[in-house]
Amino acid sequence: MATEVIPTRFLRVSDITRNRRTGKPGLLPVTASTWWAWCKSGKAPAPIKLSAGVTVWREADVLAFAESLAGGAQ
């Protein structure tokens, strides 16, 4: 019996947040400073450090967080 492996996709802060200078939208309509503040306070998913200069989040965790924000806005 074969086991299906579902790959985990990782997102960087630039994928999650919008960039005012370039106009690039992110998954969430917040700036990087807001995202980091949410992570520090425990509101957003905890980051994963891959190395000294690389911090990521699991895509599934970020999408679930975005859904929870959308659900609370109604």
Q: What is the pLDDT of residues 29-46, one digit of tens each?
A: 999 999 999 999 999 999
* Tokens matching residue 41: 């306070």
Task: State yes or no: pLDDT of 74 exceeds 60.
Answer: no
Q: What is the pLDDT of residues 1-23, one digit of tens each?
A: 677 877 889 999 999 999 888 88
Q: What DSSP assignment string belongs to the chain?
A: -PPPP-PPPEE-HHHHS--TTT----SSSS-HHHHHHHHHHTSSPPPEEEETTEEEEEHHHHHHHHHHHHHHT-
